[in-house]
A and B are shown apart, each in its own frame.
Chain A
Amino acid sequence: MEAVVSEDLVKIYEGGVKALDSVSLSVKSGIVFSLLGRNGAGKTTFLRIMATQLLPTSGRGYVLGHDIVSEAGKIREKIAVIPQESRPMYILTVKEHVKYFLMMRGLPMNEASQRSSRIIRDLGLEEYSNMLCMKLSGGLRRKVLVAMAMATEAEILFLDEPTTGLDPLSRRLVWDVIQRASMSGQTIFLTTHYMDEAEKISNEIAIIHSGRLLASGTLEELKKLTPYKLKAEIPSDSIRIEELSEYGRVLKLGRRIIVYMADEESSRKLHDYCISMRTPVTFSPLSLEDLFIKLVGENEYS
């Protein structure tokens, strides 16, 4: 069953800003799905529409088979959301946040208490459990919100940039919890700026730009959208950029030159050339970030 489906979804805000332009997307149940895009690309608008927080201008959307406009009540029973830039209440403790949020959703106090203790432990928040949120760092506060959403055990979790502000270890803890939730059958729909996050935890990824969906699928499917398989990074001050174009597509990113290559033969030739020029070079497979740059903003960086 499809967890989230949109058909030609359009959102035009008051004042005429078109945030979504005929977005059609389908997300399978039980997977981690990442929506990638630059700031203002339309990620949050899409998430808010599907999470029944915002009405679309036109088009249709379904969450777990329910219409997002006419059956919002049924959808709300089965979803939970972490909004972007949300914050906990400073005057409540970590445990109170999770527990009261669950009670607000209708859970009995005992069950809410047990569930909150469990998620607090899973997210490594035990030592902060009885601490007021005003005393927590920004990253820990974000983790409290993640705990609130995860503790609901909702069928679909809409997480809008859930790991923003978290340190690398905390991010991995959150990833673990997200992946465990997905393995237990929950669908995770998240937006993120972090390419490594999308690459590591997502089963499927979509890229959105200026309100239009550019690509959608598994990482392997997305990689097939470009002819390049490998990339080389070379310091820009050690070589002339014009001499590299015969090996592949060349981009200059700050003090680095990136060469995208279609096959290993090109990479071997480039390797030999760099040795002859006594220039350091690093080869790696094409990453999601490379793909994102190619699809979204190649021209801006070249």
Chain B
Amino acid sequence: MNIAREIRALNALVLMNGLKPIVRSPLWLVVELSFPLTLIFFISLYASEKAVSEALIGAAISLMTLSGLALQSDVVWLRVELKFQDMAVASPISPTTYMLGLALSELAYSSPAILLIMVLMILRGMITLRSIPLILLSLILCWLFATSLGFYLSTKITDLRHIWALSSLLSVLISMLPPVYYSIELLPEWARILSLIIPTTHAALLAKDAVSLTSLTLLNKFISLTILLTWTITLTIIAAKRSTWREK
């Protein structure tokens, strides 16, 4: 593998699908921010300070997850509508670099919003130097997991309308419904158990533990990290091995 060449390819994809479109259509940055900030606003009206802090963590996790899932629509758009993926397939770029490049371009849209959430968390005194590694790890694993899921699904679907519907549904199921924006303790027992299947629940638990919003035992921390890692690794392998790059 030629690292310099891979970096150039990543750079090109980020520029063409992320930075240039953002500069020419900055409204998208506001759109990215509007959803989590609206939720935080409502939560701040009705709930406690602790709930607002939890919602901020949830917003960061949700933004990273949605950034990964947003990859679905772009991949299908580029493949079906523009036939750009056909040009990429018949070129030296690997599917992994293509996926990563597009995923990074999606992250360019979410980055200002995530940065703002981080600044709000710092201003509220939530983040300490010790908490940063675990927060970052949770966010990165969420992004990787959602990116792999998004890419895998996008290569299996040929109709853009289906991917829009699927993307919206997955966003709700992965980042809205589970205890990401709110505390897991608010859920009834059966829902709590159910929510533990979902990787974002564990990312939220780890991040909330890192900022002392919840207190996980070492064993629980290990279990959450293992589940989150298992999801991420499994989906990354599936995306790398089972995604359709060359059509059959």
Contacts and interface: CB of A to CB of B under 8 A. Distances in A.
Given A89-B84, A100-B12, A54 B246 contact: yes
B87 A148 contact: yes
Contact of B16 (A92, A107, A109): A92
A4 B90 CA distance: 15
B90 A85 contact: no
Contact of B87 (A81, A103, A107): A81
Interface string A20-58: 000000000000000000000000000010011111000
Contacts of B21: 89, 91-92
A155 interface: no
Interface string A90-131: 011000110011011111110000000000000000000000
A149 B86 CA distance: 12
A291 interface: no
A72 interface: yes
B248 interface: yes
Interface string B8-32: 1101110111001100110000000
Contacts of A84: 83
Given A51-B90, A87-B83, A92-B20, A104 B9 contact: yes
A86 B83 CA distance: 5
Contacts of B93: 104-106
A83 B11 contact: no
Contacts, number: 103
Contacts of B90: 51-53, 76, 79-81, 158
Contacts of B8: 103-104, 106-109
A88 interface: yes
A9 interface: no
Interface in B52-88: 81-84, 86-88
A147 interface: no
Interface in B201-248: 246-248
A77 B91 CA distance: 6
Nearest to B13: A104
A81 B86 contact: yes
B16 A54 contact: no
Interface residues of B, number: 30
A103 B247 CA distance: 24
B24 A132 contact: yes
A205 interface: no
A82 interface: yes
A80 B92 CA distance: 9
Contacts of B91: 76, 79-81, 104-105, 152
Contacts of B5: 106
Given A55-B246, A55-B247, A101-B12, A83 B86 contact: yes
A83 B89 CA distance: 11
B86 A106 contact: no
Contacts of A103: 8-9, 11-12, 15
Contact of B82 (A48, A76, A81, A87): A87
B92 A72 contact: no
A152 B12 CA distance: 15
Chain A CB within 10 Å, residue with most, of B81, B87, B247: B87
A81 B24 CA distance: 28
A91 B87 contact: no
B94 to A, nearest CB: 8
B206 to A, nearest CB: 35
A17 to B, nearest CB: 14
Interface in A57-84: 72-73, 76-77, 79-84
Chain B CB within 10 Å, residue with most, of A77, A87, A101, A105: A105
A82 B88 CA distance: 10
Interface of B: 2, 5, 8-9, 11-13, 15-17, 20-21, 24-25, 81-84, 86-93, 101, 246-248
Shortest 8 CB-CB contacts between residues of A and residues of B: A103-B12, A86-B83, A106-B5, A83-B83, A81-B90, A104-B12, A83-B86, A100-B16
Interface of A: 48, 51-55, 72-73, 76-77, 79-89, 91-92, 96-97, 100-101, 103-109, 132, 148-149, 152, 158
Given A52-B90, A100-B16, 18 more contacts: A48-B247, A53-B90, A55-B247, A55-B248, A73-B92, A76-B92, A79-B91, A80-B90, A84-B83, A86-B83, A86-B86, A100-B13, A101-B87, A103-B9, A104-B91, A104-B101, A106-B5, A106-B92
